[in-house]
């Protein structure tokens, strides 16, 4: 997607935090054909200068609220002078058949792909939304340095961050993830989503699979992944060692940290979010 899209936004909430502002906005997405919310944290530095921008992608069942209320990110965004954007995880209220039947497909489970299968194809285009439309909206409304972007996320969103960065070399200067679904083509969550959104042809799936994409990209941005060893989804759904092996095969720089006793929750994310901000700030020049 490269066409210019409308960039009008409406304020939903506006809260002071660490001398900056945690805001939520709503806009009509032409890509998704529905209203969408997104969070934006504006650090105090943004009052007088343009700042690098860091995109956060959330996991299954989440809205824009989970990250901005639970991760404790604002203090680090203020420290490093980073604008942080947190979109919703899927279209909502589209009244599609099956949209509300399960927590891992449909509402709250957009999987950051462009759906090609009906009934999803008209609305479920979260890949284009994150890669093209949302950055246009952000650039038109906030003082961001659009050539200094980073991306990170959790679980489904960690997968989304990896896939989007690897598919778009040059768009981001930093990548990290918490407990990402690194091999969606090989695990139940990813297989269910891809089959419904993309169809039964598995060759169409690998174009969104980080374990495959990392072998194709010529860009070698260092990747930081934190994974709790007590994560209830570790062995069946997350499989970080598959991604580590793929990175090793092509000498892609990866720091994979196994965190003792940590699970899949935001308690885990909040414990290590500061390290991820430091990782991104170093790459973004702040």
Is 123 one of the catalytic residues? no
* Alpha-carbon gap, residue 144 to 141, rounded angstroms: 9
* Alpha-carbon gap, residue 77 to 261, rounded angstroms: 27
pLDDT tens, 73-111?
999 999 999 999 999 999 999 999 999 999 999 999 999
DSSP annotation of 72 reads -
Query: Strands 144-154 and 51-57, how do they pair?
Result: parallel
The distance between the two most distant Cα atoms of the chain, rounded to a whole number of Å, is 51
Among candidate residues 90, 155, 176, 185, the one labeled active-site is: 155
Among candidate residues 27, 252, 264, 280, the one labeled active-site is: 264
Confidence of residue 196 (pLDDT cuts 50, 70, 90): very high
Is 155 one of the catalytic residues? yes
Confidence of residue 177 (pLDDT cuts 50, 70, 90): very high
* Alpha-carbon gap, residue 69 to 178, rounded angstroms: 17
DSSP annotation of 9 reads -
Length, in residues, of the chain: 286
Average pLDDT of 192-208? 97
Residue written as tokens 């961050």? 161
pLDDT at 4: 67
pLDDT at 1: 46
Backbone angle region of 142, left / alpha / beta, with phi > 0 → left and psi within -120 to 50 → alpha:
beta
Is 209 one of the catalytic residues? no
Contact criterion met (CB below 8 Å) for 21 and 15: yes
pLDDT tens, 256-274?
999 999 999 999 999 999 9
pLDDT at 6: 73
Residue written as tokens 């054909």? 33
Structure tokens, 55: 């995109």
DSSP helix/strand/coil, 261: coil
């Amino acid at each position: 997607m490269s066409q210019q899209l409308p960039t009008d936004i409406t304020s939903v909430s506006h809260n002071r935090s660490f001398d900056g502002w945690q805001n939520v906005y709503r806009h009509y997405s032409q890509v998704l054909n529905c209203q969408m919310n997104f969070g934006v944290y504006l650090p105090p530095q943004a009052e007088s200068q343009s700042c690098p921008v860091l995109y956060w992608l959330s996991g299954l069942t989440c809205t824009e609220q989970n990250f901005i209320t639970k991760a404790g990110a604002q203090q680090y965004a203020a420290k490093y002078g980073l604008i942080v954007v947190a979109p919703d995880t899927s279209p909502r209220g589209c009244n599609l058949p099956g949209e509300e039947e399960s927590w891992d497909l449909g509402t709250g489970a957009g999987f950051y792909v462009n759906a090609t299968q009906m009934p999803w194809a008209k609305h479920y285009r979260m890949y284009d939304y994150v890669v093209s439309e949302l950055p246009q909206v952000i650039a038109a409304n906030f003082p961001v340095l659009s050539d200094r972007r980073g991306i990170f996320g959790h679980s489904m969103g960690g997968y989304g961050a990896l896939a989007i960065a690897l598919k778009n070399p040059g768009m981001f200067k930093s990548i990290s993830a918490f407990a990402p679904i690194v091999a969606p083509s090989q695990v139940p969550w990813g297989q269910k989503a891809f089959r419904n959104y993309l169809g039964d042809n598995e060759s169409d799936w690998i174009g969104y699979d980080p374990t495959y994409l990392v072998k194709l990209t010529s860009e070698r941005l260092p990747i930081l992944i934190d994974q709790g060893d007590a994560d209830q989804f570790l062995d069946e759904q997350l499989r970080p060692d598959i991604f580590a092996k793929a990175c090793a095969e092509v000498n892609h720089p990866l720091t994979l940290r196994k965190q003792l006793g940590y699970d899949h929750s935001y308690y885990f994310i909040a414990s290590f979010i500061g390290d991820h901000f430091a990782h991104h700030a170093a790459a973004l020049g702040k």
